[in-house]
Amino acid sequence: MSGYILPPEPMTNEAVAERLTNAAVSRIQNGLIKKQNLIYLELNGCSGNIISLLNGQNPDFEYMVNSMVNLRYSNSLMASEGEQAMEKLLAASQDEYILAVEGAVALRDNGLYNVIGTLNGKPLTGLEAVTMLGQKASRILAVGACATHGGVSAAKPNPSESVGLQRVLPEKEIIKLPGCPVNPDWFLGTLAHLLLYGVPETDNLGRPLMFYSTLIHDRCPRRPFFDKGIFAEKLGDKTCLFKLGCRGPVTRIDCPTRQWNGHVNWPIGANTPCIGCTQFGFPDAMAPFITYDTTRVVKDE
């Protein structure tokens, strides 16, 4: 039984990503599991997720690259460019790898609204790249709202005809990490779980339950104001933001306990309503983000 790893107990607190990544690195160093190759592909979007990952702390992205995986390709982070970068992408695809994708897939004009490089004198579209890489990948992660369901890239009127990753790879199992952007912990914790135990338990939409199981409303420190009917009348008020359009009652994610920017704050802590960025359908289904229409109701999936 040497090297056998027991499956984890359910973990939903703010330290889960740190514990998973530390465990993964420890077992890699002890030879119990091996580092895997990672291809990180950016498609039609704003690069907000890779920027968010670079801002992660404890664990951080540099820790992942140096200790957990072999980062074989990244549009933004690799030194190579032009055809040399495309050649490295093709070379990386010949070995076993985990594929992480941020950004939506543009379908219009056979994908020409999103070109990631040039290969053999021809443009390589995001659509072509993700179709090729998705078929060979051992595991696939959709990172951020654009990758999971189209997000801002697919917002009306959607001139690029952008879609989420699952539309292009309908037969593949895809772990979905919605968010605009994704919190570093959600990605790094999920990646570490893949290395240690395989695919984490997910909901019916493919979201890992260790991060996406509980409504913000149920953990919100302003919930007592909601229960007592004390609502903010303007931005900056310290009471419940529900009547200003807060989507916390329908948004499943752990922002209240995990927080952002080094685990120091989050939107409601900064006196702005939750805009529901981890919900499928964001942004159109969550708009308007600020409202004084107290009768508006948004339903959970």
Q: Are 232 and 191 found together in one domain?
A: no
Residue that is last in its domain, among 211, 233, 268 = 211
User: Which ranges in the chain belong to alpha helices (H)?
Assistant: 16-29, 48-54, 61-63, 82-92, 108-111, 126-136, 145-149, 165-168, 184-196, 209-212, 216-219, 223-227, 255-258
- Asked if the structure places residue 1 within a domain, the reply is no
- Asked if the structure places residue 225 within a domain, the reply is yes
Q: Are 271 and 161 found together in one domain?
A: no
Residue that is last in its domain, among 159, 181, 211 = 211
Q: What's 225's domain CATH number?
A: 4.10.480.10
Q: What's 89's domain CATH number?
A: 3.40.50.700
Q: Are 40 and 155 found together in one domain?
A: yes
- Asked if the structure places residue 9 within a domain, the reply is no
- Asked if the structure places residue 3 within a domain, the reply is no
Q: Are 166 and 111 found together in one domain?
A: yes
- Asked if the structure places residue 298 within a domain, the reply is no
**Structural domain harbouring 62:** 16-211
- Asked if the structure places residue 294 within a domain, the reply is no
pLDDT tens string, the chain, 301 residues long: the values are: 334 344 444 444 668 888 999 999 999 999 999 999 999 999 999 999 999 999 888 778 888 888 899 999 999 998 888 888 999 999 999 999 999 999 999 999 999 999 999 888 889 999 999 999 999 999 999 999 999 999 999 999 999 999 999 999 999 999 999 999 999 999 999 999 999 999 999 999 999 999 999 999 999 999 999 999 999 988 889 999 999 999 999 999 999 999 999 889 999 999 999 999 999 999 999 988 887 755 454 555 5
Rounded to two decimals, the pTM is 0.90
Q: Are 56 and 153 found together in one domain?
A: yes
